[in-house]
Every structure is written in C-alpha cells, then in structure tokens.
Chains A and B, each alone.
Chain A
Amino acid sequence: MAKILMKGSEAIGEAAIKAGCLSYFAYPITPQSEIAEYLAKRLPKIGGTFLQAESEIAASQMVFGAAGTGVRVMTTSSSPGISLMSEAMSYIAGAELPAVFVNIVRGGPGLGGILPSQGDYFQATKGAGHGNFRFLVLAPANVQEFVDYMIKAFPLAEKYRNPVMLVGDGLIAQMMEPVDFDNVASTPQGDVESWATTGCKDRETNLINSLFLDPLKLEKFNDKLADKYNRMRDEEVVYEEYAMDDDPDVVMVAYGTTSRVVKTAIDEFRKEDKLKVGLIRPITLFPFPMDVLRNLSAKSHVKAFGVVEMSIGQMLEDVKWATLERKPVEFFSRKGGIVPNPDETKDFIKNIFKKIGA
C-alpha cells in the first residue's frame, strides 16, 4: 500500500489502531467527531472496544478505568471537552497510568467556535487539571506527522506511565492529505503485571490510587513526579529547524498549523527578498525546546525572534522565558478560528526586519 488520501480525523483513528490501541471512549464534539465515527466502524470489527460515553467527564474516567488494566487506551475531544477531561487527567497522572488524549483545539473561551485555534496551549502545557502534574504534549503539523506521533504516543505514555496529549486543530482534523501507513508499526508493550488491575490470580493485589493522606508521603510522591517531568525535559524535546543553516537574522517560532504558514512565508522571502529568516518549530510543546532558543538568543547573528500563534500570546511567554528576552520577541496572532494567511505573516516578518534595521 502506497500513500492514500485520508481525512485527518480518520487517519488519527487508524493510527491509533496501528499503534495497538484497541480501546477508545469518547463523546462527540466538533471538529473531531469523525475520529469517533471512524473508530465506531473499525473497532468492533477487530475485537476492540468502542464506547460513546454520556459526557467527556465519563469518557475520560472510562479511559482511567481501562488504563488501570494495562491496555492501550485513548480518547479524543476538542477544547471544551478537554476542560471536562482535566479531572480524569489529573487522576491518571496521580495514579501513574499511561493513556493518550487528543485535543483538536477550537476557538475559545467558553463555547467559542469550531475553527482552528491554539488557545489551549496554556491548558495543555501548564494547566490541565489540579495538582502538580505535567504531561508530554505533541504538536504535529500535518496529517502524516499526526499519524507518526500517534504511534509514538503510546510507548511514550508507557515509558513514563503518564498521560500524553497530542494537539492539533480543525485544519489538520478536517483536511485530507496523503498518508503512508507502510512504515508505521506499533511498539510492543512492556509488562503491566506489577501494577495493572487484572485480578490478583497468582500474585499480590494491585491498587490504582492517587490518595496520600500522609503529607510527607504525598510530598515524596510529588518529588518523584517532578523527577519524571525533568526526565522528560532531558530526553523528549523534539523540534524542527527550518531554514536555520545560514545564521538567520530573524528566528521565527511557531508550531502546528501556524508553522506551515510561517514556512510558506519563509520560502517566499528566501526566493524573492533574500531575507535571512528561519524557523524553530516545537514539536513537543511540553517539554518546550528551551535550550535551543536560549542558545540562539545568545548568538550574535540573531537580531530578533518572531512568534506566530493562533492565540492571544500563550507560547509567546515560553519563548520570552527561553530567550530571556536577550533579543526582541515580536508577536503576531490571529484568533477566534482565523488562520493567519501568508501575506499578513510576511508583513509581520518584514516589519521585524525593519525594526532591527537589517
């Protein structure tokens, strides 16, 4: 089988199956209900579990229950639904279970809109649920990459026994792009016998729990979690460098859909105006590619950074922190479901060049 044309949502569903995830619980919400529709068709035919829950709260708690038994399990939703799932995410992190969440982000706050947005960056990277916990956040920028990272998400969740979230938007979920499943293979799952609630035959009983009544034990557990998140910072940062090999004057930072617009702008500048502009595209939003940006901020050839987001400035804060604002950090955004177009993005970049006098 070569490349096939596939809608993002359906590719996400198929990728989960290819990843060895045969358990899926969800509640419909635009713009990603097609994932549930696809898996409702596919999973029963291959002995999997598909269940439409009564709410995102219940769907995510079903994920919690299933994850406790050691099976690969996921749910998918969009922004308002993810808010409801944040309770379960906290419990899953607190009970140290692997599970995969997909957030096809839409405009907010509140009911917001259904079009592409990156307004859930804070929620995904810093604030999904109560208590001290973090999780890996992967931000693929096209359908093929979404498929590839779906495959990686499950072993990563198992490596850390922690939720993993993939974020996209309606553009990726609704768009048809060529996808290749040929080189996609699931990773074998490790042993779950020591912790999974599968019945205590021939072993000690297992307990899935996040309650620590003794504050000293809870503190110790929090320290253990902090170590885990630091390990993610050390081992899991992924980013793409684009047009970065000739010491560009301006370094753009954008992820997901906006990174594609920025790439288009860069390509045109490189062709027409010979402006030296490159892009750092974070693929992991947590852990954020802190070091690469901090190192660039100390380089003399870098005169400014430019951040493009579909939010009022969320990743922007991480870029400012990463670069220590050693160089100006300029910001351009569209929000509410509007994707920045290449022309306005080019104008933004041109203005940065004007400001730095290059």
Chain B
Amino acid sequence: MKTIFKRPDSMTDMVTHYCPGCTHGTAHRMVAEVVDEMGIRERTVGIAPVGCSVLLYKYMDTDMHQAAHGRAPAVATGVKRVKPGLIVYSYQGDGDLASIGTAEIIHAANRGEKITVVFINNAIYGMTGGQMAPTTMPNQKTTTSPYGRDVNDVGYPMRMCEMLQTLRTPSYIARASLHDPLHSVQAKQALKKAFAYQNENKCFSFVELLSICPTNWGIPPVKSMDWLVERMLPYYPLGVFKTPEDEE
C-alpha cells in the first residue's frame, strides 16, 4: 500500500490544544513539513514562544528550547552563534514578537542572524484572553480595547515586514496568509524559502503568516477567514518584501 498522506516525521503524535478553527495547527504542520522535506530534522532546534503556541515544543519532534516572552530571537541567536551547524528557528505570535520582543527581533534581523523566524499575526493576544496587540486592526474590539482600537489613542497596527524591510542588512522578509488552501500553499513555499536561505547560511529569514483567532475575535472560523480577507489583507499586503539578492 502506498502512503499518500502522513504525519510529518518532525511532529509528535500529540493532539494539539488549539481551539477549533485556529490556524496554529496549519502553521506548525507546514514548518514540520519543510523540516522533513529539507532533511534537517536531526540538526534543527526550534525556539518555542510564550503565548498560545508555547506548547509547540510538545508538538515538534525535534530538539526544542522554550523561551521567555519576546526573547526567542535572542535565545535563537545564542544557540546559532555557538552551534552554527544547527538550523534554528523561532515561532512567535504578535504580542510576543511585535510588542514585548521588538528590540530582540529588530536586532536579530539587523545583525543578520542566520536564523528563521515564523511570525504568526492574528491581530490579538490569544493565550491571555483576547487583549489588544500591536497588530490589532483600527476599531477592532478586544478585551482591552472594548470600544475598538482608537488609532488616535494607541497608534496604528504595526507592520513588521515593512519595518524589517528598511534594514540595510540582507535578509529574506515575506508575508503570507493562511486563510485558504491556495494561500496556505504559498505560505509553505515562503517558509521553505526562508529555511533554505538559512541552510545556505545566507541571511536572516522572516515569514509573517496572517492567521485567525475565532475564539478571541468572537467570529466563527469560516467567517474569521472572511474577516482576515476583508480587514487584514488590505492593511497587511502579501508578498516578498526583501531578498538577499536585492542587495548588490
């Protein structure tokens, strides 16, 4: 009998704890598939974040290091600098990466750390119960912006790809979305590219994945996909923002 579909070798057989409709599972699987396809499982160290995906370390069947909130790029830097032969990636949400961890992500990118960062942008804090994130959309209601995000009071959502793109150091910066199968396939291609750049020891690589959080958005999963398309896509354009080849 020919196997045509199976769990990636780089994932354990644990049942994930994610809410129905959550896109973390999709993103986890894509990372694991890329690690499998590139044959790098035995030299991969994943850095798990703080937030909903903290338990990434249970789902990935590779060496894992659980980091403090926002600090994953610094931890990844420590691992990679002393063991350059390893493939090191961090997996971080928007509160983690774009709020408490802005210094760490910007400086890891600016140093050109040969690591890969998977950035899950779902416009909200998930684990703590739906508070406003730096990526929360204008007028979006959250538990800490109960009247909607007032951009005059707390500013506009932060676009991390666009910020990182401005750095002179060569890097691969891309944004993709998980809202439908076609875009998910493209997202995986971006992830594969990112890991490949690291594998070639070429540059820092960063893939933002627009994601949904039906539970904390208070929107059913299928409608959440529509909400992402209508609200997030116009503000967070998809595409490749920077490649190392851009530089002369």
Contact = CB atoms under 8 A, between A and B. Distances in A.
B and A form one assembly: yes
Contacts of A71: 82-83
A198 B83 contact: yes
Contacts of B107: 53-54, 58
29 contacts: A53-B74, A53-B77, A54-B106, A61-B67, A61-B71, A61-B78, A62-B81, A64-B75, A65-B67, A65-B78, A66-B79, A68-B45, A69-B82, A69-B83, A69-B86, A71-B83, A73-B78, A87-B68, A95-B66, A197-B63, A198-B86, A199-B83, A200-B41, A200-B62, A200-B63, A205-B63, A206-B63, A208-B66, A211-B54
Nearest to A22: B82
Given A197-B45, A205-B61, A205-B64, A57 B81 contact: no
A212 to B, nearest CB: 11
For the complex of A and B, the 8 pairs showing the least CB-CB separation, nearest first, are: A65-B78, A62-B78, A61-B74, A65-B75, A199-B43, A54-B107, A201-B42, A66-B78
Contacts of A201: 42-43
A132 interface: no
A49 interface: yes
Interface string A27-55: 00000000000000000000001010111
Given A58-B74, A61-B74, A197-B45, A209 B81 contact: no
B104 interface: yes
Q: Most A CB atoms within 10 A — which of B48, B76, B81, B103?
A: B81
A65 B77 contact: yes
A123 interface: no
Interface residue range, chain A = 35 or more
Contacts of B66: 95, 207-211
Binding site secondary structure of chain B: helix
Q: Most B CB atoms within 10 A — which of A51, A63, A208?
A: A208
Contacts of A58: 71, 74, 77, 103-104, 107
B186 interface: no
A91 B86 CA distance: 22
A71 to B, nearest CB: 5
Contact of B63 (A57, A66, A198): A198
A250 interface: no
A60 to B, nearest CB: 8
A66 B82 CA distance: 6
A69 B79 contact: yes
Interface residues of B, number: 35
B68 A91 contact: yes
Interface of A: 23, 25, 49, 51, 53-55, 57-59, 61-69, 71, 73, 87-88, 91, 95, 197-202, 205-211
B57 interface: yes
A197 B88 CA distance: 10
Contacts of A206: 63-64
Nearest to B54: A211
A208 to B, nearest CB: 4
A197 B65 contact: yes
Contacts of B44: 199
Contacts of B111: 51
A65 B62 contact: no
A68 B65 contact: yes
Contacts of A23: 81-82
A88 B67 CA distance: 9
A206 B103 CA distance: 28
Given A53-B107, A69-B79, 14 more contacts: A23-B82, A58-B71, A64-B71, A65-B65, A65-B74, A66-B81, A68-B45, A68-B78, A69-B45, A69-B83, A71-B83, A197-B79, A199-B45, A205-B61
A202 B63 CA distance: 12
A54 B103 contact: yes
A25 B75 CA distance: 11
Contacts of A205: 61-64
Contact of A62 (B43, B61, B75): B75
B81 A51 contact: yes
B63 A62 contact: no
Contacts of B67: 61, 64-65, 91
Nearest to A71: B82
Interface string B95-137: 0000000011011000100000000000000000000000000
A156 to B, nearest CB: 20
Contacts of A207: 57, 63-66
Contacts of A53: 74, 77, 107
A57 B70 CA distance: 10
B73 to A, nearest CB: 8
Nearest to B61: A205
B100 to A, nearest CB: 10
A54 B65 CA distance: 21
A49 B103 contact: no
A199 B45 CA distance: 6
Contacts of B65: 65, 68, 197, 207-209
Contacts of B71: 57-58, 61, 64, 87-88
